[in-house]
Chain A
Amino acid sequence: DAGVIQSPRHEVTEMGQEVTLRCKPISGHDYLFWYRQTMMRGLELLIYFNNNVPIDDSGMPEDRFSAKMPNASFSTLKIQPSEPRDSAVYFCASSLEGRYGYTFGSGTRLTVV
């Protein structure tokens, strides 16, 4: 298995632009999580899905952030419009039944200038 695959690895964009981050979870995993990592706040959960349905989006900072999971193999996290304070590393992780250790992707480093 190739693990959790995220794209792009790096994204540099200008303030106000739309950014879309992509994630392919491990086949067979039924939970998908989006985390954000910064030096100040560490790893923070943004949203998670179970069987493609959003369960908890209380960590989404504001309405500029949205996430979708149209099928079991794909999820997106969109920021529109982007702001410099959104600069961070965004991780996607998947898990089987939510009980075992998550498997994380390699992350997308987002820089908003």
Chain B
Amino acid sequence: EDQVTQSPEALRLQEGESSSLNCSYTVSGLRGLFWYRQDPGKGPEFLFTLYSAGEEKEKERLKATLTKKESFLHITAPKPEDSATYLCAVQRGGAQKLVFGQGTRLTINP
């Protein structure tokens, strides 16, 4: 069974304090690993898809990386508007559904 574990559950940072969120996964034949951002009262918003180990993608202050067992979402010099829950999900080869982790709730204090 596909499994996704995210850590930490919650993270509180000061503005400008860089850090990383972890997503460990177990899946048979990874097709893609997805990162989403979710704000309170809203649906998840797509950020990145990573397809193979060694791949990296960047968007503003966020950079996602992928190995064969885990993915990291690096946040550089975060701002308060980066506060949200970040969700990781995996999709196995030949399948369409995404299996989500529980998320990391990130708070950036000004």
Contacts and interface: CB of A to CB of B under 8 A. Distances in A.
A42 B103 contact: yes
By DSSP majority rule, is chain B's interface helix, strand, loop, or mixed?
A: strand
B87 interface: yes
B97 A33 contact: yes
A101 B103 contact: no
A104 to B, nearest CB: 3
A91 B32 CA distance: 21
Interface size class of B (residues with CB under 8 A): 20 to 34
A112 to B, nearest CB: 19
By DSSP majority rule, is chain A's interface helix, strand, loop, or mixed?
A: strand
B88 to A, nearest CB: 11
A56 interface: yes
Interface of A: 4, 31, 33, 42-43, 45, 48, 50, 55-56, 91, 93, 95, 98-107
Interface of B: 31-32, 34, 36, 41-47, 49, 87, 89, 96-103
